[in-house]
Amino acid sequence: MPETIFSKILRNEIPSHKVYEDERVFAFLDINPLSRGHLLVIPKEPAVTLDELSDDSAAALGRVLPRLCRAVQRVSGVLAYNVLQNNGSAAHQAVGHVHFHIIPKPGDESGLGIRWPTGKLSPADGSALAEALRAALE
């Protein structure tokens, strides 16, 4: 498993502003926030991308994410927020350790900007794709 800046944060070898910790999860402030309150939530398990993560770590993350979102809302004073999770450098993942961003969206001037270039799903492709995905589930 590659060593990352987040492994060092987990081992307390480099400092972070810790917000939450349990047996499987750690949350801390992003050092380059897109808006005030930008939080990173990571599993202690050193998986690079979400598809590699164990069910136990995924469950632990899912269990605490809503509570962390509520804390970010309260402290930032902003109700709108994005939860972002990048996988792979093509998808803008810079640190090779699974992480969820919680990013308050105060308005157009700060927070996450999103380009959303939509296409169209035809009924035939929808059927074929859903069937292939159902078959691919383990």
Nearest distance from residue 97's CB to ligand 5GP, in Å?
Answer: 8
Contacts for 80 with CB less than 8 Å, ≥ 6 apart: 104, 105, 106, 111
Kindly tell me which of 28 and 81 has the beta carbon lying closer to ligand 5GP: 28
- Is 5 one of the binding residues for ligand 5GP (CB under 6 A)? yes
Q: Which tokens hold the place of 29?
A: 């402030």
Nearest distance from residue 24's CB to ligand 5GP, in Å?
Answer: 19
The residue from 31, 80, 128, 130 that contacts ligand 5GP (CB under 6 A) is 31
- Is 30 one of the binding residues for ligand 5GP (CB under 6 A)? yes
Q: Does the annotation count 99 as an active-site position?
A: yes
The residue from 49, 73, 82, 93 that contacts ligand 5GP (CB under 6 A) is 93
The residue from 95, 106, 110, 112 that contacts ligand 5GP (CB under 6 A) is 95
Catalytic site positions: 99
